[in-house]
Amino acid sequence: FSSVVGAWCRCEGVKMADESGLTETGQLLRKMNVMQAPEENKAELDKIGGLEGLAKLLEVDLKNGLTAEQTEKSRQVHGDNEMPEPPMTWFITLFIASFNDPVLIVLIVAAVVSFALGLVSEHEEHGWIEGVAIMAAVLIVAVVTAGNDYAKELQFRALAKFAATMESCTVIRENGTRLTLNPKEMVVGDVMALKGGDQCFADCCLFECDEKAGVAMDEAALTGESELLVKTPNKDPFLLSSTVCASHGNAEDAKAVVIGVGSFSQWGRIQANLEQEDVNTPLQDKLEDMVVIIGYLGTAAAICTFAVTMIYIAASDPSSQDWLDGAIDAFIIAITIIVVAIPEGLPLAVTISLAYSMKKMALDNNLVKHLQACETMGNATNICSDKTGTLTEGRMALVEGWFADNFVREEGFDQFFNAFKDGPVPKGGGSVSGTLTEGRMALVEGWFADNFVREEGFDQFFNAFKDGQTPKGVEAWKGKPGGEWLAPLLQNIGINSSGEVTYGFTYFAPPRDKEPVPLPWLANEELMKARVPEEWGEDRCNESRFQQVMKDRPDHFNMTELALLSFAHKLDFNTVGAKKNGSVLRVVPFNSKVKRSSAMIGLDGGTLVRVLVKGAPEIVVDYCSHYASSKGGAAGAPLDGAKREELASAQDAMSNGQKRVICLAHKDVLLADLPSDPKTMSDAQLDALVTSGLTVDAFVGIIDPLRPDVPASVKIAQSAGVKVRMVTGDNLKTATAIADKAGIFKTGDIAMEGPEFRKLTPAQLDDMLPRLTVLARSAPEDKYLLVTRLNGKNMPKDQKEWEVSHPGSSWVSEKDLLLPGYWEEWSKCHPGGGDVVGVTGDGTNDAPALKAADVGLAMNSGTSVAKEASDIVVLDDNFSSIVTAIKWGRCVYDNIRKFLQFQLTVNVVALLLVFIAALLGNADSPLNAVQMLWVNLIMDTMGALALGTEQPTDELLKRPPYKRDASLVNAPMGRNILVQSFFQLVVLLLLLSLGAKWFGVPEGNVCGEYSNKAFDGNEGFHWDLKGKYAGKNKGSVGCSTFLEGTGPSSLDCSDDLKYTCYEDKGYHDFEKDEKTHLTFEETCLICEEYDFRHYTIIFNAFVFCQIFNEFNARSITDDWKVFRGLHTNAIFLGVILVTIALQVFIVEVGGLFTKTSPLSPMQWVVTAAIGFVALPLGVVMRLIPATENPNNFATLPSTDSSSKV
């Protein structure tokens, strides 16, 4: 049975941490993996023979990694690396917790008392029903509250699960192959490769790293240790799950063998018992403050209503039973008023809106890690953005160059290459689109065979050299007149290089061993259409299928090589095949001292050797004696002084355009003329060979180009009142050039470098902040100082904190001179609370600034440290996604205000209606406790669901952000609330006073049909003909007069035992019994059927007013088109339909429980029509002038300078 359960658990992703079933190997691993015991763990490791013994124990080759068979065996024995989820809070627990609300407790007590009195009362045959109805309503509220909390927890877990699918790690398996896996796929015995910024996803034992520096690990997330701990194989080799590699020294990477995964890792054991605490968002805090204020007002209204009701009871000569019944009824109504008044749905609306937005934002490439980031991002006033990968494509692209004696500039690049379409070189559409190189370094410009091709015409120039097929080498161009220069150029790029581009991966599902796709035309469309698992490893029980997924952007560890290789692939040159070709004789990697790399290949059956050189143009061009030209044949043309000046001019032009310039050259020599075999040639001989007699093939200009959508996105952000600043480590020229193209650096703006920035005083920086848009050559500390000065979040609060931040500096003499300043000084300069700042980052060193920001935005391509420090992970590394996050944040903020507008209207009307009815002396409240609890449900849960899920629109980005302390209710909202409240209140009061007459129904809640109480003889004849109390059994009018016609015929109601006759004959004016203080009705009659139609009409009209006003609430401005975009919110329409359906059910079926009577079709139509009036009134009310207070917005300073600085 246990084996069956274990197999089921593995298939369903359930982890069993029962250590009693551990194998002998598992027990040994457990002994050397005790928490907070590195010395004891090292001793246990030494007992089994150290690292060599550990490798033997795990049967793993530390150099080559596990085989596929070993991997599967380890997975079966030790499990995989799925972390256990924290314990789920059961629904019943949340249900019980919902009764902790003191208001609900009071209502329950009141319901119990009402139920008990109804059972023992002599005059309230159905009195128990109200108590039961209130209890049922309270239970519904508790179920809904618990359901919302339960759904919220499920949403957070789903989001966390989604975030886990985005993680990846590198392991070595199958003869040393590096594989990129989801951490879930790691097993005990895997060899993991770590670099600075990587997260450690399992417990490991370090066996290879930089011997001097070791590996610096940040264990704060696991142990709370604030200092970095240096790990080495000899002293402390244990790397713990959930920790982060801060630095791996100067080695290529660090390698460690996995010894603990999943629930048997140290982080897994903690996470299994981890309880997450809910933290309020800033908007929730602000709304809870409002809830308190409204609650006080509601309590005051409840007390006043209770007092007025008790005064009327006292003035009506009550019996003791009247006192008790009246007090209980008044108390229940008062408590219900408090329930309705307290808008506990506001925090719920925030939660619903934020959780909904978080899911939607993930689809828009924003993975939200912290709930408050949604709303905070909406009111961001500053975005401090990185350049590389965010504003730019994160790739070096070839955009300009010198080709075949033509200097093709950036703006004419495409046109130049289009001119070759009619030439002798193969041409066609090709199989590679430009999008395949999106997001990485790419070659975009250059000098090729005496042609300077600029960035703008680059694609057109080279499109002429494609034939739509897949050449396996350079044979497609060999011998083509005019194309001789292209063959050595492509050979130089493809062979004289390191590594290959990765366009995607092929794998068996679930994706364990991922093989890279090295060429774009290897993409298999059929495989790409196959279903890719939503989460790696989740379908492990299903049959594995071969699949392929292409990356959004190609990848390579060297950006320059990526640019060149992608360029060759655009021309369908098979760089992979070229490298595997047996004609490759030797490849010498790039040497930073001589600034070049070189290669040699055999041609013409090995009799000819082609020498390929690539490197810095100022170095390589001095080795050249010829240049490639479309007219010069294979040997090219002599390189004279004039041509050298032309090439130098082309190089300068590209350099001034902030492009990296690479020179590619070659020469052909006879194998017999070489001093020795190319494979064994000495360094001196090789150096002599590659430094003379070369032919310049091309100068290429490579740049990290601006993302195409960035200028438009920046413009949108600026029009939304967001100041965009660029903070980069690039030099000032490159930074300003990119910022200028992006639209960030404008007339009057300031650009400065980090060293200069750090010398500023706080006062000087404040003067520059309005115009400071570019910070170049910046250190991570500069970004942190800038952010802190803008928002004050981490500003030193006192002298002690300041001195910690500035060791060795004098508080007295330097506190006003050093950045970022201190709290007292900053708060005086920023009385409004400072800016709301969003910061982007991708590196480990960006973590402090990401933490200091109001919203930290980490790039998905960034390090684990950056992602951990962030609030939002931008999945596509795109600035436009950040603008989308702003739009969603504003949508959340406005959705809450829409709900607030709706709820305050309901509150005002309900409270005033009940209070005014009490003042008018109505025996019953027009809205009873159960009805008001239903209204409360409409307001809270259903209203929050309907209005909290509205979709964002582009209009949201056409207004400035709100200040931190801006009021939630603006002038247009106040106008809308007052007008709708006034209309509803007037209509409902008219229905209260005149509605019975208009609709032809009895006034108030009355009896529809009476029956007699049992009496002996003449008992009950207490009144005379005028209704005066004559004494017990001394009158001429008694109980049987009404029911049986015994006595005066003028008072006979035996044929019409309804309240209409009771009222018409004047029984309602009869004096009370002097001793019992009971009315004629209470003394003599039993109500068999009640008529609640009058107050049901009021209740129905009130609810329909709220239903139609919910449409009005979709706009909090002067825009009267409240149906715009309604088709995008199916939830809203669903809520409206469900509300109407439930209202029909309550009215038609509720009966004594809800004190409602069925209405006629005409009454339904009229009450619905009354509610419908709210819509045309919504159009009219928006014609009343009401302007948003400009002080609510965060204003942007204007620039007063006429030039860039």
Query: What distance in Å separates the CA atoms of residue 691 and residue 144, rounded to the nearest whole number?
Result: 80
Position 7 scores a pLDDT of 33
Q: Which of 526, 446, 987 is nearest to 696 (CA)?
A: 446
Query: What distance in Å separates the CA atoms of residue 1125 and residue 638, rounded to the nearest whole number?
Result: 69
Query: What distance in Å separates the CA atoms of residue 407 and residue 1041, rounded to the nearest whole number?
Result: 117
Question: Do residues 493 and 664 lie in contact, with contact meaning Cβ atoms separated by under 8 Å?
Answer: yes
Q: Which stretches of the chain score pLDDT less than 50?
A: 1-20, 121-126, 274-279, 418-440, 467-481, 532-544, 1016-1017, 1196-1203
The strands making up 238-239's β-sheet, listed across from edge to edge, are 177-181, 169-173, 191-194, 254-260, 203-208, 238-239
Position 107 scores a pLDDT of 62
Q: Which residues contact 282 (CB under 8 A, 6 or more apart)?
A: 372, 375, 376
**619 CB-contact burial (10 Å; exposed 0-12 / middle 13-18 / buried 19+):** middle
Rounded-to-10 torsion of CA 147, 151, 153, 156: -160
Amino acid identity for residue 102 in this structure: P
Question: Do residues 480 and 434 lie in contact, with contact meaning Cβ atoms separated by under 8 Å?
Answer: no
- Cα distances from 72 to residues 11, 29, 77, 513, in angstroms, run 14, 19, 9, 12
Q: Which residues contact 26 (CB under 8 A, 6 or more apart)?
A: 19, 77, 78, 264
Interior angle at CA 713, CA 875 and CA 748, nearest 5: 130
Question: Do residues 963 and 381 lie in contact, with contact meaning Cβ atoms separated by under 8 Å?
Answer: no
Query: What distance in Å separates the CA atoms of residue 627 and residue 634, rounded to the nearest whole number?
Result: 10
The per-residue b/e assignment along 212-249, b for 16 or more CB within 10 angstroms, e otherwise, is: eebbbbbbbebeeeeebbebebeebbbbbbbbbbbbbb
Amino acid identity for residue 714 in this structure: V
**435 CB-contact burial (10 Å; exposed 0-12 / middle 13-18 / buried 19+):** exposed
Q: Which sign does the torsion angle of CA 228, 251, 615, 663 carry?
A: negative
Amino acid identity for residue 1166 in this structure: V
Q: Could you list the beta-strand ranges (E) of 409-441.
A: none
**What digits encode the pLDDT tens for the residues 579-615?**
877 788 988 888 777 888 999 999 878 889 999 999 9
Position 434 scores a pLDDT of 26
Query: What distance in Å separates the CA atoms of residue 844 and residue 196, rounded to the nearest whole number?
Result: 8
Query: What distance in Å separates the CA atoms of residue 812 and residue 823, rounded to the nearest whole number?
Result: 15
Q: Could you list the beta-strand ranges (E) of 869-916.
A: 872-874
**What digits encode the pLDDT tens for the residues 691-738?**
999 999 889 888 877 888 899 999 999 999 999 999 987 778 778 888
Query: What distance in Å separates the CA atoms of residue 198 and residue 243, rounded to the nearest whole number?
Result: 9
Position 621 scores a pLDDT of 93
Position 122 scores a pLDDT of 45
Q: Which residues contact 959 (CB under 8 A, 6 or more apart)?
A: 720, 721, 1193
| Structure-token pair, residue 461 | 């120039």
In terms of DSSP bridges, do strands 382-385 and 442-453 run parallel, antiparallel, or are they unpaired?
unpaired
What pTM does this model have? Answer: 0.67
